[in-house]
Amino acid sequence: MEPITPTPTQPVQPTEPITPAPNTLPEAVVAPISTPATLPVEQNTSTVPTTETHPATPHTDHLKAVRTLSSDVAGAVKQNQGAVIKTAIAEERRREQEQKDSSPTAPKNLAYVIGGLVLIAISAGFAGYRIMQRASGPTTVPVIQVPVAQSIVRSDVTTTLDITEQTKTQIGTSIFSAVAKKDFRDGTIKNILITIRNGKTPARVSAREFLSAIGAHASVPFQKKLVQDSMLGVYAYEGNHLFIVLRATAHDYMYDGMREWEPFLIQDLAGMFGIDTAENKAPVVNAPFHDMLIENRDTRAVVDENGKPVLYYSFLDPDTILIAASQKPLAEAFRRAQQ
């Protein structure tokens, strides 16, 4: 029997590519599986049939490109390239604006510069004016102030009287003229501060300096017990009335000192009180003092040939002597001392 020749195997058609499930990794190319086919043949006991397979050729018409990390980055850069360019342009414009603002020729900066120059010019002009003023000398007379202490008897008006380089007669005349001035109203008291000049500065005269200047014959122990403050006051009531206030540190010295001073009191104080001491008035100068009461206070007084008192002195308090040529200032001083 002749051997049977096997029929060539027909190639199997490739199956459709497998579609990957959604949300999976990028698609991979799946090659079609070729399965060798064996056709049944009539077997011969002496001959084993053989099969021949041929690999199938894959179709590439339906394949997609493979996605990688580098391709994704390149795509993102390409998409953001426009935004990066816009940012760079905006940054460049901002820098240009800052340069314009910082330029000295910018309108805002020019305003600052002009304002500064104007202020400098004003300052320079004021400084020049002050320098010219100083060079031309002072235009006002300096005011010299005299230290003022509180008066022993409360006063309403205070004035000063300079007795620098004056004799005792001139001092008496100056005080009498100051008393006669009607520069304050009735019912008030004016305090006259006696001053002398040491160079250009006036200084207030102490009680001892005042008695020494008028040539008073008061005893030395009496003057030593006087305190610095004294007072020349003028009481305005139906005329101007002078009074003198002296204060000491010991009553006994005050009383004894005044009794020792009595024979010279009219002579020492006549000029400032306006007491006439002409030759025909000699009895007044030598007249003794008498005791009397004024406002219920012990008072010593000297009277003229007509029995009229012309000078009084009394104690305002145990350490304060009050001397006057009229009862009016004595009564007013007593009244104010009790207030």
CA angle 164, 168, 170 (to 5 degrees): 70
Structure token pair of residue 130: 């002050």
> Is the whole-model pTM more than 0.75?
no
- The radius of gyration of the chain's CA atoms, rounded to the nearest angstrom, is 66
Give the CA count within 13 Å in the CB-facing half-sphere of 316. Answer: 27
Q: Which residues contact 309 (CB under 8 A, 6 or more apart)?
A: 292, 301, 302, 303, 327
Largest CA distance in the chain: 213
Question: Domain-by-domain residue ranges, the chain?
Answer: 157-337
| 53 phi, psi to nearest 5 deg | -110, 150
Distance separating alpha carbons of residues 72 and 65, to the nearest angstrom: 13
* Per-position DSSP letters for 171-182, written without gaps between them: HHHHHHHHHH--
| 87 phi, psi to nearest 5 deg | -60, -45
Strands (E), the chain: 157-162, 189-198, 201-204, 226-236, 240-248, 289-294, 297-303, 309-317, 320-324
How is residue 146 annotated by DSSP? Answer: P
Chunked mean pLDDT (size 10), the chain, 339 residues: 49 49 45 45 45 49 56 60 67 74 66 80 79 56 47 90 94 94 92 89 91 93 89 94 92 88 93 80 78 92 87 92 94 89
Do 323 and 313 touch, CB atoms closer than 8 A? Answer: yes
**What pLDDT does residue 338 have?**
83
